[in-house]
A and B are shown apart, each in its own frame.
Chain A
Amino acid sequence: MASSAVASPRIALRHRLAERGVDRTLLLLLPAVVFVVALFIYPFVYGLQLSFQPQPGSEAVNRYGSGPFADYRNFFADPYLRDTIWTTLKIGLPAALFNVLASVPIAYRMRGRFRGKRTITTILVVPITLGTVLTAEGLLAFMGPTGWFNRILMDVGIVDHPVRLTHNYWGVVFSLVITGFPFAFLLTLSYLTGIDPTLERAASTLGANWFQRFRHITLPLLAPGLAITFCLSFVLAFSVFPSAIMVGEPARQTRVISIAAFHAAFEQYDYSMASAIAMIMGAVELIVIGLVLGWRARLYRGATGGKG
C-alpha cells in the first residue's frame, strides 16, 4: 500500500515528461551535444569575446582606442576591408544562384527512373569529392592562357589571343560552379523526387501542358526546397578561400572576406581582428539566409503529395 502510494506520483511524473518527449533516450543525444559544444559553440563564443578585445598595438587600437568595438569600427571604416563583403557577395550570390537555377531543369529532366542515372549521378558527385584545391588546379590547366580551352578557341580561330578566364573574377566563379553545382543538383533532385508524380499526371488530365505543369504544380512544391538549396549553396560559396587565391586575383578582384581574415590572423597576427572579420562574415551569411527563409515562409510549406 505504502510503496504504491509513493510510486504512483513518480510514474505520473515520468509519464508527464514522456509526453513532452523527455525520456531516457534523450541521453543518446549526449555525444552529439558534447560534439557541438566542443567544435562549434566553444570556438564561436571564444572568437566572439576575442573580437571585442582588440589587440594592443594593432592598427585598430591606434586609430579607435581600445574600446570593445575598435576592430569592427576599423573594418567598416577601411574600404580595403569593408569592400571584401561586396567582393564576396558579388562572387557568392551569382554562383549560388546559377547553381540552383541550372540544377532545376536538369534535375527535372532526370527525376524519373532511367538507365544510366546512377552513372550520371556518380559523375556529378566526383567534383564534390575532389575538393576545391584539385578543382582549381584542373581549372588552371584547362582554362589557363595555355590551357586546352584557349588552344582550341585559337585553333578554331574564334579568338586571336588567349581569353583570360583564370586569375580573375571568372576563374573563381567557374570553380564555385564546378564544386557547387553537383551539390545543388543532388539536393534539388532529392527534393524533386519527393514530389508525388501522380500530381503532374493529374494536372495533365486536366489539360495542363508540360510548362503549365511545371509552373503551377512542380515549381510551387519545389520552391521551399530550392530556398534551402540556395542557402546551403550560398554558404558554401561565401566561404570561398582556396579558389579565390589559386584561380582568382586575391589582391584585388577576388579579395574575398576569408582572405581578409586570413591576412589579419596569419600575416598580422591580430587574432582579435581576424575574429571580428569572422563574426562579420557570419552576420552577412545570416542576413542573406534570413532574407531567403523569410521569403520562403510566405510560400506553401507542407506535404508534397499523396493524401494528407
Chain B
Amino acid sequence: MSQTKISELRLDQVSREFGGVRALDGLDLTITGGEFVALLGPSGCGKSTALNCLAGLLPLTGGTITLDDRRIDTLQPEQRGFGMVFQNYALFPHMSVRSNIGFGLRMAKVPKGDARRRVEEALTLVQLTEHADKFPAQLSGGQQQRVAIARAIVLEPPLVLMDEPLSNLDAKLRLEMRTEIKRIHQTLGLTTIYVTHDQEEALSLADRLVLLRKGRVQQIGSPEHVYTEPANRFVAGFMGYRNELELPVGSVNEKTVVLDGLGAGGLTGVRRDDLGERAVAAIRPEDFTVGAGPNATEVTVEVVEYQGREQAIQARTDDGVDLHLRAGTRLAPGDRVTVSVPPERVLVFAAESPAAPEEVA
C-alpha cells in the first residue's frame, strides 16, 4: 500500500490461459513512474485480462510482475493497492458519493479528519462537490464515471488501472471525460494503464501505446510512432489504414516496392517487410488526393458520405478494387475521377500473418 510514486513496473512474460486458450500470451512491458500507457486492441484481444492480472483479480498462469524490485504477482488485490476504474463503474449503490470515494481511505484506516480533507480534494478534482451526498443511482453516467475515477485515485495509488472507462458514455461526454482524465493525470502524475479499443482515445491520452491482438503484443511505441510506422498490417489496419489492398508483387527494391495493379504504372510504396509473391498495401483514406499525381488510377465513385468539411468516398477501380478515400471537392455517385497517393504514404506489408512483433520503447 505504498502511496509513494513508483519508479518502475515490470511485466515479464505475463500470461493467462482460460482452459487451454491463451487470452494473454507473454506480455513484456516496462512502465516508468508517471507514465500513461494505453492498451489498445480489438474486442477479445486480452486487454481486460491483462488489466485484471495486474490488479490481482485474476491469477497469472505464467510470468512475473515486479514493482520497484518487489514481486507482486502473488499478492491479493487488496495488498497491491492499485486503483481501478471499472467499465460499468462498480459504484457501491448503498453508499453516497462521499462514502464511495472515502471507502478506500476507511479501509486503510486513515484518520477521520485527514480522510475527509482528501475526499473533499478528490471531489473538487472531479468537479462533483455539489453532488457529494447523492447516491450513485441519482447521478448521470458521466457523473458516475467521475465518482469511479475519484474513488480510484483518492488513495494516490502507485498504479491506476482503467478498463474502457468511457465506453458506456455518449460521444460528447466521452470527449469531455477524455480531457478530464488527461487533466487529472497531468495534475496528479499517477502512473496509469488505460484500456481501450478506440484508437483515437489511445492516441490522444497516452504517452505510449501497446497494441494487442489475440493476446500477443503487436507493437509498443509512442502514439506518433505507432501512427506513422505501424509494425504490421494488423496494426496498420487498426490505426486507420482502411485500405488494405492485397496485390501481386512486381519489382522489389531496397526501400520501395512496386505492386501490380491499381493504375497503369502499378502501385509504388514503402517496403516494410520481406515480401513473397503477394503483398498488402496499407493506405489511409485521407492520403489519397483527387487529381493526377504519383500512383494515379481512375475510379468510379460509388458511395458518398457527407462528413462536414469533407466527404468520405467509396470508389471502385476498373479492376474491381474498392478504395476508401476522402475528398474536399463535391463528388456524386457515378462520377469518374483520377485519384493518386504519394508512394511514401503507401506501406507494403507481407500478405502472410503478421511478422514478429516489433518493440520500440
Interface: B206 (CB within 8 A): no
Interface residues of A in 279-308 (CB under 8 A from B): 300, 302-308
Do residues A305 and B78 form an inter-chain contact, with CB atoms below 8 A?
A: no
Interface: A206 (CB within 8 A): yes
- Minimum CB–CB distance for B16 against chain A, Å: 16
Which of the residues B82, B86, B93 comes within 8 Å of A304, measured between beta carbons? Answer: B93
Q: Beyond A198-B88, A199-B90, is A204–B141 a contact (Cβ under 8 Å)?
A: no
- Minimum CB–CB distance for B93 against chain A, Å: 5
- Minimum CB–CB distance for A218 against chain B, Å: 11
Do residues A202 and B144 form an inter-chain contact, with CB atoms below 8 A?
A: no
Interface: A48 (CB within 8 A): no
Q: Report the separation of the CA atoms of residues A212 and B76 in the bound assembly, to the nearest whole angstrom.
A: 14
Do residues B81 and A207 form an inter-chain contact, with CB atoms below 8 A?
A: yes
Do residues B88 and A205 form an inter-chain contact, with CB atoms below 8 A?
A: no
Q: Beyond A205-B82, A208-B78, A307-B88, is A302–B93 a contact (Cβ under 8 Å)?
A: yes
Q: Report the separation of the CA atoms of residues A308 and B55 in the bound assembly, to the nearest whole angstrom.
A: 25
Which of the residues B76, B93, B152, B168 comes within 8 Å of A204, measured between beta carbons? Answer: B76
Q: Which of B65-73, B132-140, B212-220 contacts A (4 or more CB under 8 A)?
A: B132-140
Which chain B residues lie closer than 8 Å to A307 at the CB level? 88-89, 91, 136, 141, 144, 168
Which of the residues A196, A208, A220, A306 comes within 8 Å of B107, measured between beta carbons? Answer: A208
Q: Report the separation of the CA atoms of residues A291 and B346 in the bound assembly, to the nearest whole angstrom.
A: 76
Do residues A196 and B90 form an inter-chain contact, with CB atoms below 8 A?
A: yes
Over the window 190-214 of chain A, the binary record of Cβ atoms lying under 8 Å from chain B Cβ atoms (1 yes, 0 no) is 0000001011011111111100100
Do residues B90 and A202 form an inter-chain contact, with CB atoms below 8 A?
A: yes
Do residues A201 and B77 form an inter-chain contact, with CB atoms below 8 A?
A: yes
Which chain B residues lie closer than 8 Å to A81 at the CB level? none
Which of the residues A198, A201, A300, A306 comes within 8 Å of B94, measured between beta carbons? Answer: A300
Q: Beyond A216-B103, A300-B93, A308-B144, is A205–B77 a contact (Cβ under 8 Å)?
A: yes
Which chain A residues lie closer than 8 Å to B138 at the CB level? 308
Q: Report the separation of the CA atoms of residues A51 and B62 in the bound assembly, to the nearest whole angstrom.
A: 75
Do residues B139 and A308 form an inter-chain contact, with CB atoms below 8 A?
A: yes
Interface: A221 (CB within 8 A): yes
- Minimum CB–CB distance for A53 against chain B, Å: 50
Which chain A residues lie closer than 8 Å to B90 at the CB level? 196, 198-199, 201-202, 305
Q: Beyond A198-B86, A201-B57, A306-B88, is A206–B136 a contact (Cβ under 8 Å)?
A: no
For A199, A206, A302, the residue with the greatest tally of chain B CB atoms inside 10 Å of its CB is A206
Q: Beyond A300-B93, A300-B94, A304-B93, is A207–B136 a contact (Cβ under 8 Å)?
A: no
Q: Report the separation of the CA atoms of residues A302 and B151 in the bound assembly, to the nearest whole angstrom.
A: 21
Which of the residues B55, B94, B136 comes within 8 Å of A221, measured between beta carbons? Answer: B94
Over the window 44-88 of chain A, the binary record of Cβ atoms lying under 8 Å from chain B Cβ atoms (1 yes, 0 no) is 000000000000000000000000000000000000000000000
Q: Which single residue of chain B is at the shortest CB-CB distance from A304?
A: B93
Interface: B104 (CB within 8 A): yes
Interface: B108 (CB within 8 A): yes
Interface: B83 (CB within 8 A): yes
Over the window 118-142 of chain B, the binary record of Cβ atoms lying under 8 Å from chain A Cβ atoms (1 yes, 0 no) is 0000000000000000011111010
Interface size on B, residues (CB 8 A): 36
Do residues B92 and A217 form an inter-chain contact, with CB atoms below 8 A?
A: yes
Q: Report the separation of the CA atoms of residues A201 and B138 in the bound assembly, to the nearest whole angstrom.
A: 23
Q: Report the separation of the CA atoms of residues A103 and B1 in the bound assembly, to the nearest whole angstrom.
A: 35
Q: Which single residue of chain B is at the shortest CB-CB distance from A299?
A: B94
- Minimum CB–CB distance for B87 against chain A, Å: 9
- Minimum CB–CB distance for A205 against chain B, Å: 4
Do residues A205 and B144 form an inter-chain contact, with CB atoms below 8 A?
A: no
Do residues A308 and B136 form an inter-chain contact, with CB atoms below 8 A?
A: yes
Over the window 10-48 of chain A, the binary record of Cβ atoms lying under 8 Å from chain B Cβ atoms (1 yes, 0 no) is 000000000000000000000000000000000000000
Over the window 146-174 of chain B, the binary record of Cβ atoms lying under 8 Å from chain A Cβ atoms (1 yes, 0 no) is 00000110010000010000001000000
Q: Report the separation of the CA atoms of residues A302 and B137 in the bound assembly, to the nearest whole angstrom.
A: 9
Do residues A207 and B93 form an inter-chain contact, with CB atoms below 8 A?
A: no
Do residues A203 and B103 form an inter-chain contact, with CB atoms below 8 A?
A: yes
Q: Beyond A216-B103, A303-B93, A303-B137, is A204–B78 a contact (Cβ under 8 Å)?
A: yes
Interface residues of B in 207-257 (CB under 8 A from A): none
Interface: B84 (CB within 8 A): yes
Do residues B83 and A207 form an inter-chain contact, with CB atoms below 8 A?
A: no
Which of the residues B78, B93, B107 comes within 8 Å of A308, measured between beta carbons? Answer: B93
Which chain B residues lie closer than 8 Å to A196 at the CB level? 88, 90
Q: Which single residue of chain A is at the shortest CB-CB distance from B138?
A: A308
Q: Which single residue of chain B is at the shortest CB-CB distance from A212?
A: B107
- Minimum CB–CB distance for B57 against chain A, Å: 5
- Minimum CB–CB distance for B35 against chain A, Å: 20
Do residues B84 and A202 form an inter-chain contact, with CB atoms below 8 A?
A: yes
Q: Which single residue of chain B is at the shortest CB-CB distance from A220?
A: B94
Which chain A residues lie closer than 8 Å to B155 at the CB level? 206-207
Which chain B residues lie closer than 8 Å to A304 at the CB level? 93
Over the window 93-109 of chain B, the binary record of Cβ atoms lying under 8 Å from chain A Cβ atoms (1 yes, 0 no) is 11000000001100110
Which chain A residues lie closer than 8 Å to B80 at the CB level? 205
Which chain B residues lie closer than 8 Å to A198 at the CB level? 86, 88, 90
Which chain B residues lie closer than 8 Å to A212 at the CB level? 107
Which chain A residues lie closer than 8 Å to B93 at the CB level? 199, 221, 300, 302-305, 308
Q: Give A contacts to B, CB under 8 Å.
A: 196, 198-199, 201-209, 212, 216-217, 220-221, 300, 302-308
Q: List 6 A-B contacts (CB under 8 A).
A: A199-B92, A203-B103, A303-B137, A305-B93, A306-B88, A307-B141
8 more contacts with CB within 8 A, not counting A203-B103, A209-B78, A221-B93, are A196-B88, A204-B76, A205-B81, A205-B152, A206-B104, A207-B108, A221-B94, A307-B88
Q: Give B contacts to A, CB under 8 Å.
A: 1, 55-57, 76-78, 80-84, 86, 88-94, 103-104, 107-108, 135-139, 141, 144, 151-152, 155, 161, 168
Which 10 A-B residue pairs are closest in the complex by CB-CB distance? A308-B137, A300-B94, A206-B104, A202-B90, A207-B107, A204-B77, A205-B84, A198-B90, A208-B107, A207-B78
